[in-house]
Amino acid sequence: MLSPASAAVVRATLPVVRAHAVEITGEFYSSMFAAQPELLDLFNQGNQADGRQKLALAAAVAGFAEHLLAGEAVPFGQIAERIAHKHVSLGVRAEQYPIVGHHLLTAVGTVLGDAVTPEIAAAWQEVYWLLACRLIAAEARLYERGDLDPADLWRRWRVAKRLDEAVDTVSFTLVPDDGGAVPDFAPGQYVSVAVDLPGGHRQPRQYSLSQGPGRGSLRITVRRLRGRAGAPDGAVSNHLHDRVTEDDVLLLGPPAGETTLDPGDGPVLLVSAGIGITPMAAVLDHLARTQPTRRVILAHADRSPAHHALRRECAQTATGLAEADELRWYENDHDAHSRPGLMDVDALPLPPGTTAYLCGPLLFMHAIRAGLIRRGLPAEHIRYEVFGPGMLDRD
């Protein structure tokens, strides 16, 4: 908890900090990378370039300050869990938090200038360290649970199979290069993949595991990111598509991610769009192998059948379930087994006791979530996976 004196200062200054938060986090990243260039290899430079990372950090810091002031009236648990899993997938270490804290608090002073009195600086330092201690503790538990050493996290995996899945989409089946054990994971989780790009920079990206556990391998399914409106192409996705083939070696972090299949036997609604099919394919595979009598609805939206990754595999997997519905929407080239246009949330079956899992573009998930709540599905029964930094807007 914030000390009473700091709480009063944070409450008074939060509107100003929130108004300048993106400017502060932008200054923070610039100054930190200038002073600690080795950290460039830890951060997704694509998210840096398009501004999503500074927006996510700004929202997290302001959200945590609000949580400290308001308690569970402004919940923060899901955000903290998401950040901790992401950090563990990248090998973030406790000793790196003072570096971040120094540059973040310096950025506050740089942006707000003389308005930052010693009292204000001390109060926001307290906010930062309360957040840091919460994340360090959560990450330590995850490292211990997985028997992981964050200083020696990355492991060599060999590409056992490469398969073109759809337009601009390819799957890589991976096995440990040292012949060791494949770690267990929960369906819905992801792994970090680190690649050495031309120019000498190493860059990590997270990719959902697109098959369930227990197969003696891991599989990722990667869509090529093509830049639009002047934005550059995705550096890592294009590298994987253009340069990585069978018998090549990739560096992987451990499975991580908080959006996983809940235990139980109630109906499951899997809703995806585009490459958001990947965690749903893993959940579907797991259910077919472990709970084939569980009621499952698989709903997917895409540009066309040719763009629908894992389409045939998911259809085949669904035949192994006693009670499964598969619904598809295509913007182009729909057929007798699909519907035209965008997904219609009112057409989704909602048996009593359903838990829904969403993955796809943010606007898509926001619309589907709002529609499911309108139809009576409780918000706590809706789980979602966001590709990239940030959280789904719940307003």
Q: Which residues are catalytic?
A: 97, 139
73: Cβ contacts below 8 Å, ≥ 6 apart: none
Name the DSSP class of 65: H
| Interacting residues of 363 by C-beta distance below 8 A, sequence separation 6+ | none
DSSP conformation class of 185: -
- Residue matched to tokens 């398969």: 163
Angle in degrees, CA 101, 104, 107, rounded to 5: 145
CA–CA separation, 196 and 342 (whole Å): 38
Are β-strands 190-196 and 155-166 bridged in parallel, bridged antiparallel, or unpaired?
unpaired
Q: Distance (Å, rounded) from C-alpha 295 to C-alpha 323?
A: 5
- How buried is residue 147: exposed, middle or buried, by Cβ count under 10 Å (0-12/13-18/19+)? exposed
Q: Coil, helix or strand for 91?
A: coil
